[in-house]
Chain A
Amino acid sequence: MNHNALVTIEHRRIGAIDIDDARVLHLDGLPGFPNARSFALVEREDTHPFAWLASLDDLDLAFAVLDPSELLKDYVPHPSANDLRAVDATHPSEVAWLVLVNVDADGVYVNLAAPILVNEAKLRAAQIVLADASLPLRSPLRL
C-alpha cells in the first residue's frame, strides 16, 4: 500500500489542496457533523496563522482553525487520560490543540470550550468538551 500518494483535490470551500494520503486526520466525534470523519489539515500562507480542517467526505465543509500557542498563549487546556485515549495517545506531549474559528461581521471568535485535540503521529483527532464550564464557546480574538 502506498502511503505517500499526493493527490490534488478541488475543495469547494478552500480551493485546490494537495492531499498526502498519509497526512489525513481521522476525526471522531464532531458534534453536528457525524458523517465527516476524514480531514486534511491545510496550512495556507494567505490565511496564516489560521489553518483549515477541510473535510474529505464533504467537499463543501471546512473549518478554520488556530494553533492556540500562537495567539492564545494563556490557553493551555490539560487533556484528561480519557481525552488522550480518544486520540490514541498516552501522554500530553504526544498531542496538540487546535481551536475552531468563527468569523462574522463583527469580528473573529474562537471556541475555547470545545477545542480539537490532535495526535499528529497517529493521525487521530477529536473534539473535546473541556470540563471547565466557564470557558466560552465564542471568545473574541484580538489579532
Chain B
Amino acid sequence: MPLMMKGLMNMDPWRSFKGTTWRQRIDVSDFVRENYEPYYDTPTFLSGPAERTKGLWDKCQALMEEERKANGVLEIDTKRVAGITAWGPGYIDQDRELIVGLQTDKPLKRMVNPWGGWRMVEAACQARGVEPDPDMKKIFTRYRRTQNEAIFRIYTPAMRQARHLGLITGLPDAYGRGRLIGDYRRVPLYGINFLIEEKRKDLYSLDNVDDTTIHLREDIADQIRALERMIEMGQSYGCDLSRPAASAHEAVQWLYLAYLAALKEQNGAAMSLGHTSPFLDIYIQRDLAEGKITEEFAQELIDQLAIKIRLIRHLRTPEYDELFAGDPVWATEALGGMGEDGRPLVTKTDYRWLQTLRNLGPSPEPNLTILWSPRLPQAFRDFSVELAIETSALQFENDELMRPIFGDDYAISCCVSATRTGHDMQFFGARVNLAKALLLAINQGKDENTGEQVLDVPKLDGEYLEWDQVWSNYEKVLTWLSVLYSRTMNCIHYMHDKYNYERAQMALIDSNPHRHMAFGVAGLSVVADSLSAIRYARVKPIRNDQGIAESFEIEGTFPCFGNDDDRVDGLAVKVLRHFFASLAKQPIYRNAVPTLSILTITSNVVYGKKTGATPDGRQAGKPFAPGANPMHGREKNGVIASMRSVAKLPYEICRDGISYTFSITPRALGENTEERVKNLSRLLDGYFGAHGHHININVYSRETLIDAMERPELYPNLTIRVSGYAVHFTKLSKEQQQEVIERTIHERM
C-alpha cells in the first residue's frame, strides 16, 4: 500500500485543477465548485464487486458473524486510553486492503474511552465480563477529572430529577456528544502542514483578552496538537498526510485517515462523514482521464471506504444499547443535492456510493442520505429511489428547504441535522419528553410514575379535562422546562468542551465556528393526539389517591395526527412554537443559536416505557411513535395524508430536523418495480413540495419482519430505517423489534 504513495511523491498534487480562491486560503467549497463534473446519465457505467474487495468483505463478514455469536462484542482493549496515536497500525488483510486504517490494531476490537466518564467504561466492560486496567482507573478517578464527573458535580437537584424521571433524556453527559463533522476533505486537498499554518495564524491573531478569547485560543492550540498527531498516525500507515493527496487513491485514503483520527479520539453518538462525493469524484475523474485507474478500481476505492465505515465500533453500556441498538455510528454521507449555480451536485461518485449497497449488500452504515430536489437528474432520482425500494437503507432530505439556509456545501450531522461543512459545529442536546411534560400539567406538577413533585402547577378541577385549563398548565410546564433544559445543556457542553474536547474534528472546522444548540423533543404525536382528545372529545382522568391520573376514559371521537386534519396538526405546531419560542429566550453557552429536532431514533421505545398513560388512549409504558411520526395505527387516510400532516411541522423552527419514517409493503407501493419507482419518486416530490424535511423509506412486509424476529440467522443483512438512521433489524432488542412490527406499514387490501 505505501508503494503507490511513493510513486506519486514528485507529482504536483494540484495538477490540472482549476480556480484560484481555494489556493490562497481554506475554501473547499470553492475547489469543488470549480472542478467537479455533474453526471446526468444512467448508472450503466458502474462496476460490480472486484475480487480483491469481495475477498476482503467476506473476511469482514465472517468477523462480524463471530462478533454476533459473542453477544455483540468481539474484543475490548482494556489497556490503552483512546487517542489518535494510541495504537500502531492495524489491518484486516493487508494484501487486499486498498484503504487502510483501523480504530485499534485489530478489526472490531473496541477502545476504552474514559474521557467521557469512568463509570460508563466500567459498566460497559463489566457487562462484557472484563475488568478495565486498574492503573487507568486510578488515573481517571483520582488524577484526571472526566466530563461525566464534572457535569454531575454542577448539576442542580432539579436537573438530576428531570434526568432520572426521564423528562430530559438521552443526555450526552457520560459519553461523547458527537454530531460534529470535521471537514475531512481539507486533509487531502491541502495536506496537514498547510492546515497547521492556518491554525497558527488564527491562534496568533488573537490575544488573551478575556475568558472568551482565552478559551478559543486554548481550543486552537489543542487543534494544532491533534493535527500533529494525525500526521504521526498517518506515518504509521506509510501515508504522508502532511502534504496534499496527489491521486484518487490518496485522496480517499487521506480523507478516511482524517475521519479515523476523530473516531480514535471520540466515541460521539453520531459521527458523519460529510458530503464528500463531489470532492472525491474530482480526484477520481482526474486519474481516470490520466489513464491511471479504471472504473473498477474507482469503485473499489469507495467500496473499501464503505467497508471501513461498516467496521466502526464503540464500547457502549447495555443502557445505551437499549436506547440505540446495533452499534450505530450515524456515519452519514450526503449524496445528491443541487449546487447554488443550478448544476446538480450529482457525480459518478454519488452513484458509486449507492452501488456499495449492491456490491457489499445493504447495510445501515454509512448512513446514505439523498439530498432531494425535483431538479435532480432523472436518472439519479430513479436510481436512488430504486435502491431505496430494494434495500430499505436510504433516507431522503429536502435540499430545496435546506440549501437556502445552509448554502450548497452542507452535510447532515447525525440523521437530519444540516451543518455547513467546516463552518458550523453543534452542541447535541438530546431531547425532552413532551408527553411526560403534558402529564405534569394534568397532575399538578407531580411525576405520574413516582408521585414526586417536580414543579407547582395549578390543580385541574372538574370531572373531565378542560381544554383551556390543560393548555394553560401545559404552557407553564413547557416554559419551565425550556429554562431547565437549556441550563442543563449549558452545563453539559461547558464541561464537555473542558474535559472531552473534540480537537481532531474541530481542527478541521473554522477556528471560531458558528455554533448551534441542538435541542430536541420526543412524543409529539402522543401530545398532539392527547390535546386533540381533550379538545374535541371528552376525556375523564381516573385519578389515584395522590390525585395522579393513572388512566383516561375517552368519550367520543377526535382527529388524530397523521390524517391531514388541520385541527390536530395545528395543535402539534402550536406545541412546537410555544416550546421553541421559550427556548429561544434562554441564554445559551458560547452564544450558540438554538435549533430543535423531532427525532428519536429507536429511543421512542424507552421514552414510552417511562411515560404513564396519556389522554390519547395510549397505555402506560407503550412506545411512542418514532420521531415526528403519527402514532401507530391511527393513520386512517393513507400515506399521502400522513405525509401531509408531518410536512406541516415548521422547519423554520425545527432546523435541527424533522424525522419521518415511512413504511410500505412492496405491493402497496405499486404492481412492479417500474411503477414503484414512479410512485415513490412522485410521493417524494409531493412530500418535499409540501415542505416535508426528512423521510426514511422502508419497503417490506410485516411477515418478513416477523420471520426475521423468529429466524434472525436467515436475515443477517435485513436493514430497516428507523427514525433518522438504519439498523440491522436482527440487532434490535425484542422490544424494539416488536415496536417496529407494530408501526403503521401502509397497505390496502
A binds B: no
Binding site for A on B (CB under 8 A): none
